[in-house]
Chain A
């Protein structure tokens, strides 16, 4: 976008604005992790910084690849991940216990995590292949439903409700964007709304029902299952508007807040930075998602459109489900806060999404440049 000047063109062409935004979120996350460790770079901030910068560089490199690469890779990647998912399931069965990852030596690969962007790519690829006139036929629905249902079902069996839901949401979002009749979604939503209370009273066991009730009223069991949500709400609520100050959070430093560096990192942050810090972080994520959806709207090909909007929605789901969970609006399902929570897998997923979004964005810009020329 910038004209010729002191900066070499390849550098100038990097998506600086969005890189800065991502960098800001990640850096803030490092600051929070530093505090969560009691004012120390080890054990979390240090390692998180390494992976963060590595993945950021990876994303920037990905931005130089043509978008067609993602289009062509969509089905093969989906296939490989399906095989890995089955493998994980089988390994888990053999070892007698739930397992979600494969140890590849240098990294613990969590196929269900990578399935989140992969499902978006695969469904987008499917609809990009579908002739325009077919979109209102049944043939536009069942293959996509199958694409989504298989991995979601496998992940559900792990059991990992949060990830299964995100995979489902990601796929359905692409279906929605692809133009599947709206009444199907409205009808489906209504059916689910009716099914939930019925399932609640008939299908669920007593202990499961109790879990749901505790989610609805965590204070009723503050030391048991409601402990996470209660302590998280206490951390956020006690922070007030301006927070207790950097390194002065008591809930996190005195270990009252469980998982204060992973899933509940937002509560750790909110306790010290208050409503101001929380709103800024939410705003930053919303800008990121808005940019992603914008990339989709501006994209030229059908695959790029669906993939870009779908990938940014995946980022959105991460943020929304995590925040709803830590603020007591959703049950505890184990979805980390992207770029902030400690842990490599989720970071990798998000950076992959961002990298592909940058790549599509770059294609968009060169297309407009070409048109202008």
Chain B
């Protein structure tokens, strides 16, 4: 008490009580105001925050995966679309009796051992809430069989959704890629709950991957009101999904499928370009995986079979395959000579061998071509002519033309990776190996060997640019802004000489007679090529081992062809690469393949007739052959198979890496030792 007087009387005590009671009342009032203020703070200032929390309590949202946008060809025919899919998933978090459930499911769905393996592996990797697919693409009976037994199997979720469908199957695998469930890393990166929604798939490769943003669409949502114990109260309005955009490609689906079939059992690629616009009409790499099957999850047997195949079905050879172009670059080198002022009528004597220093460089024709000029050297594919010219001019005078024709370039295409090869010159070699350029390097490069490396897309661009004199740039999306190709400002006389020489290759006694189309009024012009992947030693020559048949597959030559048609008014340009083809089987060789593919553009019936006849010689169409191959592989397997890697992407790029290194190392070997050379 800070009062001057002490409580000693009744009156003082009463006064003290009144004071203190008033203090008490005021204090209580103050507390009341604080409480009211606190309530105002919660319900006004933080109202939005708590409203949101209350809503997220009340409403349980289930995402509905959006229907993926279609990929269609230039005429609107579907390359990738969606079909209704009955699917069964497992939500690992809710799974109670794993073994029991799996055995019941395998009974109901007739799962194979391979399927069960994959499910087990996926279950181990799954992040709790991430659904694991048991089986999709079910027929109604099996779907219903699972649906009625759901109460016995907590954690099993039968769903009706949409699945990606590729009507052309393997023929478009490397073009569009495939789709699959998001990996754990992708979810970590994007943090989008859609990625772990059952049935949602995103692009894993090819256009499906690079055009993901346009194709994905916006998910719908099923909203239900639930109690704290998770009991459903009622369904709220469902928000429909917004399907992804349709993407129109420059591809002609018919041609794409035709080219894929025409490649037959070979490991190879076909590119067809429109020589006026650069539109890619076909981009085929075979053999390939079946994107329909990949999109349903990759079985370990399937993975093993594909990754062990020496025809590298997991690699898009059009953009990732690097090859020495061989003689296919001779017309382009001819143009380089014209641009450097060489008279096309100038003759060089070909005696079959050119001695340079201590090295001997052979022509493919043993006896030699005799006196030969450019007009004949290109159709006859005379090596000595180009050796001689390269020795005189040096490859540094050729390289600018090679680049002008599109070699060594990377194109702005929506694909995950491109290997763009090498157009070598002295500066490049100095930088890369620290060694001076030699005459032998020029000689090797002059016939498309040595350091020169290209991909099939570049070869097609080269053919297109030679045919039109325009700076053709390949494009794949039809809705992309399109600029007419700029002129390369070539001398029309130069183009005429080269085009005529390329016409002669096919139609006037040249080395490419196999590429004749036999379509009235339409001639093909082109150039064949052979790329050696090994050195022919003197010992080989003495033993007569120059024929490809005597070597194992991996050591045989690549067979190449570039061309355009019609020869007099070019509309389409193509490149065909048959890996390790070795020109062994005539109807599977590069020129014949190119001829039939180009025929398809002018006379479909004729082309189809030839294809069906040819397919009889190699065991039917793609699906039939893939099924047979699969069955044979399965029969040959008895050891347990390791699971496929989780990130197929990285695993596949290893395959590509390995394949690319093989090609890269093969070429410098050939160059360093000089493929047609025998230095003794």
Q: Check A309 for interface membership: any CB of B closer than 8 A.
A: yes
Q: Decide if A278 touches B25 in the complex (CB within 8 Å).
A: no
Q: Considering the chains assembled together, what is the distance between the CA atoms of A286 and B31 in angstroms?
A: 10
Given contacts A179-B13, A285-B32, A302-B13, contact A234 B54 (CB under 8 A): yes
Q: Which residues of A contact B46 (CB under 8 A)?
A: 237
Q: Decide if B24 touches A176 in the complex (CB within 8 Å).
A: yes
A226 to chain B: closest CB distance in Å?
Answer: 13
Question: Of A62-70, A105-113, A238-246, A352-360, which stretch is located at the interface?
Answer: A238-246
Partner of A293, one of B25, B47, B51: B25
Q: CB-CB contacts of B119-143 with A at 8 A, as 1s and 0s?
A: 0000000000000000000000000
Q: Considering the chains assembled together, what is the distance between the CA atoms of A297 and B10 in angstroms?
A: 15
Given contacts A274-B43, A279-B39, contact A250 B21 (CB under 8 A): no
Partner of B43, one of A181, A239, A254, A297: A239
In the complex formed, the residue of B with least CB distance to A235 is B54
* Extra inter-chain contacts (11) besides given A255-B229, A309-B21, A329-B35, CB under 8 Å: A135-B7, A182-B1, A182-B2, A233-B50, A256-B58, A275-B43, A282-B39, A297-B18, A309-B24, A320-B31, A327-B42
Q: List 8 A-B contacts (CB under 8 A).
A: A182-B2, A236-B50, A237-B47, A238-B43, A239-B43, A250-B54, A279-B40, A293-B24
Q: Which residues of B contact A313 (CB under 8 A)?
A: 24, 28
Q: Decide if A290 touches B25 in the complex (CB within 8 Å).
A: yes
In the complex formed, the residue of B with least CB distance to A236 is B42
Given contacts A176-B20, A256-B228, A316-B28, contact A237 B35 (CB under 8 A): no
Given contacts A241-B44, A274-B43, A275-B43, contact A136 B54 (CB under 8 A): no
Q: Which residues of B contact A297 (CB under 8 A)?
A: 17-18, 21-22
Q: Check B53 for interface membership: any CB of A closer than 8 A.
A: yes
Q: Check B233 for interface membership: any CB of A closer than 8 A.
A: yes
Q: List B34-72 residues whose CB lies under 8 Å from chain A.
A: 35-36, 38-40, 42-44, 46-47, 49-51, 53-55, 57-58
Partner of A132, one of B10, B21, B49: B10
Q: Check B8 for interface membership: any CB of A closer than 8 A.
A: yes
Q: List A252-288 residues whose CB lies under 8 Å from chain B.
A: 254-256, 270, 274-275, 278-279, 282-283, 285-286
Q: Decide if A329 touches B38 in the complex (CB within 8 Å).
A: yes
Q: Considering the chains assembled together, what is the distance between the CA atoms of A296 and B28 in angstroms?
A: 15
Q: CB-CB contacts of A34-69 with B at 8 A, as 1s and 0s?
A: 000000000000000000000000000000000000
Q: Decide if A255 touches B28 in the complex (CB within 8 Å).
A: no
Q: Check A289 for interface membership: any CB of B closer than 8 A.
A: yes
Q: Check A95 for interface membership: any CB of B closer than 8 A.
A: no
Secondary structure dominating the interface of B: helix
Q: Check B257 for interface membership: any CB of A closer than 8 A.
A: no
Partner of A254, one of B14, B20, B225: B225
In the complex formed, the residue of B with least CB distance to A255 is B228
B235 to chain A: closest CB distance in Å?
Answer: 15
Q: Considering the chains assembled together, what is the distance between the CA atoms of A80 and B661 in angstroms?
A: 97
Q: Decide if B43 touches A270 in the complex (CB within 8 Å).
A: yes
Q: Decide if A254 touches B57 in the complex (CB within 8 Å).
A: yes
In the complex formed, the residue of A with least CB distance to B22 is A297
B41 to chain A: closest CB distance in Å?
Answer: 9
Q: Considering the chains assembled together, what is the distance between the CA atoms of A31 and B342 in angstroms?
A: 105
In the complex formed, the residue of B with least CB distance to A176 is B20
Partner of B24, one of A173, A239, A270, A320: A173
Q: Considering the chains assembled together, what is the distance between the CA atoms of A187 and B368 in angstroms?
A: 119
Partner of A289, one of B28, B51, B55: B28
The 5 A-B residue pairs with the shortest CB-CB distance, nearest first, are: A237-B50, A238-B54, A255-B228, A237-B42, A238-B50
With contacts defined as CB atoms under 8 Å apart, how many contacts are there between chain A and chain B in the complex? Answer: 153
A162 to chain B: closest CB distance in Å?
Answer: 17
Using C-beta atoms within 8 Å of the partner chain, give the interface range for chain B: 35 or more
Q: Check B16 for interface membership: any CB of A closer than 8 A.
A: yes
In the complex formed, the residue of A with least CB distance to B10 is A132
In the complex formed, the residue of B with least CB distance to A320 is B31
Q: Which residues of B contact A286 (CB under 8 A)?
A: 28-29, 32
Given contacts A238-B51, A251-B54, A278-B36, contact A179 B16 (CB under 8 A): yes
In the complex formed, the residue of A with least CB distance to B233 is A254
Q: Check A166 for interface membership: any CB of B closer than 8 A.
A: no
Q: Decide if A240 touches B47 in the complex (CB within 8 Å).
A: yes
Q: Which residues of B contact A289 (CB under 8 A)?
A: 25, 28
Q: Which residues of B contact A176 (CB under 8 A)?
A: 20, 24
Q: Decide if A290 touches B29 in the complex (CB within 8 Å).
A: yes
Q: Decide if A275 touches B40 in the complex (CB within 8 Å).
A: yes
In the complex formed, the residue of B with least CB distance to A282 is B36
Q: Check A30 for interface membership: any CB of B closer than 8 A.
A: no
Q: Which residues of B contact A233 (CB under 8 A)?
A: 42, 50
Q: Considering the chains assembled together, what is the distance between the CA atoms of A55 and B648 in angstroms?
A: 76
Q: Check A369 for interface membership: any CB of B closer than 8 A.
A: no
Q: List A319-337 residues whose CB lies under 8 Å from chain B.
A: 320, 323-324, 327, 329
A370 to chain B: closest CB distance in Å?
Answer: 19
Q: Decide if A278 touches B28 in the complex (CB within 8 Å).
A: no
Q: Which residues of B contact A290 (CB under 8 A)?
A: 25, 28-29
Q: Decide if B35 touches A275 in the complex (CB within 8 Å).
A: no
Q: Check A177 for interface membership: any CB of B closer than 8 A.
A: yes
Q: CB-CB contacts of B489-531 with A at 8 A, as 1s and 0s?
A: 0000000000000000000000000000000000000000000
Quick one: which of B42, B53, B58 has the most chain A CB within 10 A? B42
Q: Check A305 for interface membership: any CB of B closer than 8 A.
A: yes
Q: Which residues of B contact A205 (CB under 8 A)?
A: none
Given contacts A234-B53, A293-B28, contact A240 B43 (CB under 8 A): yes
Q: Check B569 for interface membership: any CB of A closer than 8 A.
A: no
Q: Check B6 for interface membership: any CB of A closer than 8 A.
A: yes
Q: Which residues of B contact A278 (CB under 8 A)?
A: 36, 39, 43
A156 to chain B: closest CB distance in Å?
Answer: 24
Q: List A294-316 residues whose CB lies under 8 Å from chain B.
A: 294, 296-297, 302, 305-306, 309, 313, 316
Q: Check A133 for interface membership: any CB of B closer than 8 A.
A: yes
In the complex formed, the residue of A with least CB distance to B45 is A237
Q: Which residues of A contact B614 (CB under 8 A)?
A: none
In the complex formed, the residue of A with least CB distance to B40 is A275
Q: Which residues of A contact B17 (CB under 8 A)?
A: 177-179, 297, 302, 305-306, 309
Q: Which residues of A contact B18 (CB under 8 A)?
A: 297
Quick one: which of A231, A241, A254, A309 has the most chain B CB within 10 A? A254
B27 to chain A: closest CB distance in Å?
Answer: 9
Q: Decide if A135 touches B13 in the complex (CB within 8 Å).
A: yes
B34 to chain A: closest CB distance in Å?
Answer: 8
Partner of B36, one of A135, A173, A279, A294: A279
Q: Check B84 for interface membership: any CB of A closer than 8 A.
A: no
Q: List A78-109 residues whose CB lies under 8 Å from chain B.
A: none
Q: Decide if A237 touches B49 in the complex (CB within 8 Å).
A: yes
Q: Check B184 for interface membership: any CB of A closer than 8 A.
A: no
Q: Considering the chains assembled together, what is the distance between the CA atoms of A278 and B40 in angstroms?
A: 9
Q: Considering the chains assembled together, what is the distance between the CA atoms of A256 and B225 in angstroms?
A: 12
